[in-house]
Amino acid sequence: MKKLCETVGFLVFVQGVAGLLHEWFDWFRFFNLVQRLPFAAEYPLFVSIVLVVAGAAVMVASDAIKE
């Protein structure tokens, strides 16, 4: 379970970073899922920041899980 939480947290974190790079430098156009979500397309910068913070929080919280 701990590895699953770490993996999910990492994927969420990477999606947030890809969203930020897409907004700032127009990179990762096809890798970014934030642009494809209709409810998140209006605020991609804020959604990307939330994904970065949430991904980091999930990765940190996965250390509290005992196996």
Query: What is the reported pTM?
Result: 0.85
pLDDT in tens, 34-55: 777 888 878 889 999 999 999 9
What is the residue type of 18? A
Contact 9, 62 (CB under 8 A): yes
Which of 1-5, 29-33, 44-48, 62-66 has the lowest average pLDDT?
A: 29-33
Domain interval for residue 34: 2-64
Alpha-carbon distance of 30 to 9, in angstroms, equals 20
Residue 59 pLDDT > 90: yes
Residue 60 pLDDT > 90: yes
Residues 6+ apart with CB under 8 A from 42: none
Q: What is the count of structural domains for the chain?
A: 1
pLDDT at residue number 5: 92
pLDDT at residue number 12: 94
φ and ψ at residue 6, rounded to 5 degrees: -65, -40
